[in-house]
Amino acid sequence: MTTARIRRLQAKMYVFGKPPIEERGKHQNRPTVLPEAVTNLIECHIRSFKARQSHYSIRKNPNRYYLPETLSVNKMYQLFVQEYKIQISCKVYWPIFTNNLKFGLPRINTCTKCDSLMQKVAAAENEELRRKLEIEKEIHLRKVETEGKAGKRNGSVF
């Protein structure tokens, strides 16, 4: 810190009785800031695509969802521009794309019991039946997980 800077600070403290407030970066001319309404539109557009949980990572990443493998961020961006007629760049659309969204691979080798339980849960007509099915599915997943760990210890897959 130079002596000139110390003198300026002393002078301001003498005049105002307190140290000056930091004002670096406090201007209102931010031409590249995206309006909040456009950000909300992009988020709604991304949420409009049907996402699903992965069969294999429900335990490890319960908040991660997978979009259809036929989509890409570029395709979603093009659909957004066509639908809303707002001219933004793909570089603006990309960061809003959520961290917990991925483009999934086709679901292969899934357990038939898991698939049937998921369909039953989705088609459940009342809350009590849905809770019962979800508990049954949870028990099944835990059983499969413990069998898988035991199989790995023994050197087999299952």
Reported as a single tens digit per residue, the pLDDT across 79-127 is: 999 999 998 999 989 988 877 888 876 555 567 788 788 888 888 889 9
Question: Hey, what amino acid is at 17?
Answer: G
Contact 69, 104 (CB under 8 A): yes
Measure CA 84 to chain center. Answer: 22
Range of the domain at 138: 111-158
Same-domain check for residues 117 and 101: no
Residue 42 lies in a domain: yes
Which of 92, 107, 122 is a domain's end point?
A: 107
Same-domain check for residues 48 and 92: yes
pLDDT recorded at residue 101 = 86
Number of domains into which the chain is organized: 2
Beta pairing partners, 112: none
Residue 4 lies in a domain: no
Residue 15 lies in a domain: no
Name, in order, each residue with C-beta under 8 angstroms of 130's C-beta and a sequence gap of 6 or more.
121, 124
* Long-range Cβ pairs for the range 39-45 (8 Å, 24+): 39/96, 41/80, 41/84, 41/86, 42/80, 42/92, 42/93, 42/96, 43/96, 45/76, 45/79, 45/80, 45/83, 45/84
Report, as an integer, the average pLDDT of 128-152. Answer: 82
Opening angle at CA 58, ends 54 and 61, nearest 5: 95
Contact 88, 81 (CB under 8 A): yes
pLDDT recorded at residue 100 = 81
Contact 90, 73 (CB under 8 A): yes
Q: What is the DSSP letter of 104?
A: P
pLDDT recorded at residue 11 = 92
Same-domain check for residues 59 and 41: yes
Same-domain check for residues 38 and 87: yes
Q: What is the DSSP letter of 27?
A: -
State the pTM of this model.
Answer: 0.52
